[in-house]
Chains A and B, each alone.
Chain A
Amino acid sequence: MKAPILEVRDLRKLFPVGPAQGWGGARPLVRAVDGVSFALERGEVLALAGESGCGKSTLALTLMGLEAADAGAIWFDGQDVTQARGAALKTLRRHVQMVFQDPYESLNPMMTIGEIVAEPLVVHGLAGTAPERQTRVLKALEEAGLKPADHFAGRRPHELSGGQRQRVVIAAALVLEPSVLLADEPVSMLDVSIRAEILNLLSDLRERRGISVLFITHDLSTVAYFADRIAVMYLGRIVEIGPTRAVLRAPQHPYTRALLSVVPVPNPRLRRERVILQGETPNPVRIPPGCRFHPRCPVVTERCRSVDPALTPAADLGHAAACLLLDQA
């Protein structure tokens, strides 16, 4: 079996926030990513779910090399790229591309769609001649579902709808023929009817091109359709990971259960008891001792206040959760 395309081991990313504590004191640190480990297999779609502030976007930026990791290691295609700089980082960026949340903001309003999609080729010095570049741009646009491509190439972002813009972002990522796509909430700003198109497009790309996708979202309903595995993140750490079916049907961590119970189900006959956690994700400056979820946990025990649980395997193969209840079972 080949090594995973992307592997993360005990990754940490800290940000100093606010003023220093007293004269010469250290500034408090936000532990945005606090010891995350996972592997993204080739051709796999891994969903990373969690509330805002849980560190999932910081994780993506760190994987892209847009933020420097403070500890831990990132392996891409069997190579340690944690400290990659300069040429090595540029090569990495050819293979790992990102799709951002807000299609209204992630396109330069002054450039034409053709120029936007061609830019990665220019930056990486690929496809030297103009006609060759043009061919690749049109091919990427078609592949992202913007047909006829030459009809779109000369237009500007403000002439397109949100869904079309997100397709342009995807085309600009595809033009480099990357092996990994990091999609950070790619559909949360779009209308429901358009979400389906984008999700189906990403699903097709995985099938046709074998691209691995790390899909970051706060909404579990969008991933049920096409993720192979789901990782649930809470306060900078993965608290549950496993095959989609296992996580959705038999969630092990109380946080996952709560998250699942509040996902709206489009059927009024299925209105059910919802576990509504009070408050929002706690401040990652002061991560609670013991299990980081214990202050909001509906099934908290005395031990949870002092013991920080590690990921423990559950019944299904490849399914694990960081909860003490699993230990006892």
Chain B
Amino acid sequence: MTSSAPTSDFRAFWRSVRANRMALAGLAMLAAALLVAVAAPWLAPYDPEASLRVTIEDVYAPPSAAHWLGTDDGGKDVLSSFLYGARVSLTVGFFASFISVVIGGLIGLTAGYYGGRVDNVLMRFTDIILVIPDLPLTLVLVALTAPSLFNIILVIGIVGWTGTARLVRSQTLAVKERKFVTRARAIGASSPRIIARHILPLVLPLLVVNTVLVISLAILNESTLSFLGLSDPTAVSWGQMLNFAFTRGAMSVGAWWALVPPGFGIVWVVLGCTLLGYGLEQILNPRTQSHHLSAGARMVARLTERLTSQEDRLARPPAPRPPDDLSAAPVLLEVRDLSVEFVSPGAAPARAVEGVSFSLRRGEMLGLVGESGCGKTTLMLSLLRLLPASGRITSGEVLFLGRDLLGLSEGEMQAVRWSELAMVFQGAMNALNPVRTVGDQIGEAIRRHEVVNDAARLDRRVCELLDLVGIAPERRAQYPHQYSGGMRQRAMIAMALACNPQVIMADEPTTALDVMIQAQVLELLASLRRQLGLAVIFVTHDLGVVAEVCDTVLVMYGGVAAESADVDTIYNQPQHPYTQQLLKAFPDVSQVGGRLVSIPGYPPRLNALPPGCRFAPRCPAAFARCHTEPPALHAVARAHTASCHLLDPAEAGRRAGRAA
């Protein structure tokens, strides 16, 4: 495990570099420059050191067969100088940036990790260096020292570390706060170990990206110094060539060939560095890599997809509409056979929602239940047509008061969103803008849908809304960070209510909250429903919460509707094995002792779904048919449906026959 890891890591890294066009182009450009520098003695047609006998025709001679890029003011071959100049420029770039990165990295790590006084002293020192303009400082230092290549490298390196130090410090600060560093301390690891094993590896990607950019800066700096005539005259770099050409009349005689090649060289290397830097940034961020629910087994996914997609459509009967509830309330929202796919290049489409139907009446509270990644949030977002770019609705209807929302233009949809269907998002802190007051944000939600010119009226409405959700109206002038978690969630609900919507979709509104605050928010939603006649879709994985507040329940598994019924039936006569298992796994405070039943395995990957029932691999009651054929939605009783082969009357008959 330990011996093979580095090589396989490198191989994986190399594979991702090859897949990243930007990094690959940058790498190729830099490799070409490096090759030119190394091979200069063999490539160059002339030795730039050799003494020449120069005639007047040789000065600024235009490109010819003998001199492909013409000659310079001394009659020297520009191509040869250009090739040799790469050596000087790149040497300065690499070594100077090495010095910058080492100094900056050490200072940044130390300041960030130890914090307090150490941080204060180091960072104030960095600030002082930073406020002195780079170029004059470099000029002064170079002018004070003898103009040798070594000194130039040293000066550029010493001047250029401040950016790196600040970058490394802020990254170190961020990494230091993360839980795995606390865990390492709890294990008993020493500071050097924590820095080396836990902080440096996470700072390193940023440092590598930064190094590549520092190289390009160093090369530019060297060019500037040379151009200003402050470098070693014996080591001709690209900057030096530009300097000579400018000061010795290349412009006045129109000898563009003396200026373009060195300029091109500088741009080439800087561009190569930049491309490589950005490419590496994309590659080295570990979060952009695979996720346990998305990647892996791609081949299998594609194959099964091909095998099942066609039969699937044929074999699967259209989902029967759930039987009508007799309650008098009018149906507000009706979703029929809705399917959503996510497409990503190079992978099978993820069938995040498939053939889901449900209806919602005025004043109804529907609980949408399922594990993470079962398509609950996707379903909600698709009702509002707010899916991310990679998602698309492949079939179905979303009827709001009889009108299909999927057929509306974007402008018409805009009018429905928020004023008819509003959403309360998960994670209230992230959904509120931290730099604007809460009242301001609620006011904006109101104004987005109705023109309110009267500031006093708007203010009154904001106060009303805050009062409705149980926040003292005086607190409208405060910022989100001055609110507690529960109050932020209330503010989010106030925003959702801003345009008097008929339906509120609440996506895990209480998940991050304590039980007491959760109870407060649930109570609020229930009272709003009574007061305003709202219909609420409550998305959660918490069965206890659903039992407390909902009227009807839709259980989702792996993107399909597993079971749907009124709340009492779901809890007391669940038919789908998934619902049954989920209920057994839920801890119940009224049951002391005993043991919880866990559901073995994990939810399916949505781009590698099993061919039959999506729950079959984890189902305790699965039989042969479950693994090959997706079950249809069967009506168990009035307003109670479940998609399970066990409920197929034919199956029941077959079983009875076999038993007899």
Contacts and interface: CB of A to CB of B under 8 A. Distances in A.
B599 A193 contact: yes
Nearest to A263: B589
A180 interface: no
A265 B589 contact: yes
Given A105-B178, A194-B598, A110 B202 contact: yes
Interface in A271-318: 271, 274, 276-278, 280
A130 interface: yes
A158 B289 contact: yes
Contacts of B516: 51, 258-259, 262, 276-277, 280
Interface stretch (B182-190, B234-242, B450-458): B182-190
A98 B183 contact: yes
Given A245-B592, A249-B592, A154 B1 contact: yes
B519 A262 contact: yes
Interface string A96-115: 01101110011111111011
A286 to B, nearest CB: 16
A15 interface: no
A52 interface: yes
Nearest to A116: B180
B547 interface: yes
Contacts of B190: 123
A192 interface: yes
Interface stretch (B46-54, B301-309, B566-574): B566-574
Contacts of B523: 274, 276
B595 A191 contact: no
Contact of B544 (A52, A64, A105, A266): A266
B197 A219 contact: no
A41 B485 CA distance: 36
A176 B183 CA distance: 14
Interface residues of B, number: 72
Interface string A121-163: 0011000001000100000000000000010011010111111
B117 interface: no
A160 B567 CA distance: 34
B598 A197 contact: yes
Contact of B592 (A90, A100, A218, A244): A244
Contacts of A159: 290-292, 296
B286 interface: yes
Given A161-B292, A267-B547, A218 B514 contact: yes
A48 interface: no
A192 B197 contact: no
Given A192-B542, A196-B598, A109 B286 contact: yes
B188 A193 contact: no
A307 B184 CA distance: 43
A119 interface: yes
A263 B547 contact: no
Contact of B589 (A107, A169, A176, A248): A248
A257 interface: no
B582 interface: yes
B487 to A, nearest CB: 8
A265 B572 CA distance: 13
Contacts of A115: 1-2, 5
Interface stretch (A4-12, A25-33, A72-80, A221-229): A221-229
B543 A192 contact: yes
A106 B185 CA distance: 12
B588 interface: yes
B486 interface: yes
Contact of A192 (B484, B585, B592): B585
B294 to A, nearest CB: 11
A112 B547 contact: no
A244 B547 CA distance: 24
A160 B292 contact: yes
A161 B371 CA distance: 12
Contacts of A89: 188
A119 B184 contact: yes
B520 interface: yes
A66 B587 contact: no
Contacts of B568: 268-269
A191 B371 CA distance: 6
A172 interface: yes
Contacts, number: 223
Interface string B541-569: 11111011000000000000000000110
A42 interface: no
Given A123-B189, A263-B589, A169 B183 contact: yes
B201 A108 contact: yes
B151 interface: no
Given A93-B186, A105-B180, A192-B542, A225 B572 contact: no
A199 B503 CA distance: 37
Contacts of B598: 193-194, 196-197, 200
A1 interface: no
Contacts of A162: 372
A203 interface: yes
B594 interface: yes
A204 B362 CA distance: 48
Given A93-B186, A270-B590, A265 B602 contact: no
B593 interface: yes
Nearest to A169: B183
B188 A123 contact: yes
B2 A102 contact: no
Given A51-B514, A154-B5, A193 B582 contact: yes
A191 B372 contact: yes
B656 interface: no
A124 B588 CA distance: 40
Given A94-B188, A123-B189, A280-B484, A108 B198 contact: yes
B517 interface: yes
Nearest to B544: A264
A30 to B, nearest CB: 15
A130 B202 CA distance: 25
A184 to B, nearest CB: 10
A108 B547 contact: no
A106 B180 contact: yes
Contact of A266 (B179, B515, B517, B586): B586
B587 A222 contact: yes
Contacts of A66: 182, 185-186
B591 interface: yes
A216 interface: no
Contact of B287 (A64, A158, A276): A158
A251 to B, nearest CB: 11
B545 A264 contact: yes
B592 A266 contact: no
A265 B544 contact: yes
Contacts of B592: 224-225, 244-245, 248-249
A224 B588 contact: yes
A248 B568 CA distance: 25
A265 B581 contact: no
B401 interface: no
B515 A192 contact: no
B183 A266 contact: no
Given A192-B543, A193-B599, A124 B590 contact: no
User: Which of B198, B286, B292, B520 lies at the interface centre, i.e. has the most chain A CB atoms within 10 A of its CB?
Assistant: B292
- Can you list the 4 inter-chain pairs with the closest CB atoms, starting with the nearest? A264-B544, A262-B519, A196-B596, A93-B188
Given A160-B292, A199-B596, 16 more contacts: A105-B180, A106-B179, A106-B182, A110-B201, A114-B2, A119-B187, A159-B292, A191-B371, A193-B371, A194-B598, A200-B596, A222-B587, A249-B592, A262-B516, A265-B590, A278-B520
14 contacts: A93-B188, A119-B197, A150-B1, A154-B4, A192-B542, A196-B596, A199-B587, A199-B596, A265-B588, A266-B543, A267-B572, A269-B568, A269-B572, A270-B547
Interface of B: 1-2, 4-5, 178-180, 182-190, 193, 197-198, 201-202, 286-287, 289-293, 296, 371-372, 484-486, 514-520, 523, 541-545, 547-548, 567-568, 571-572, 581-583, 585-599, 602
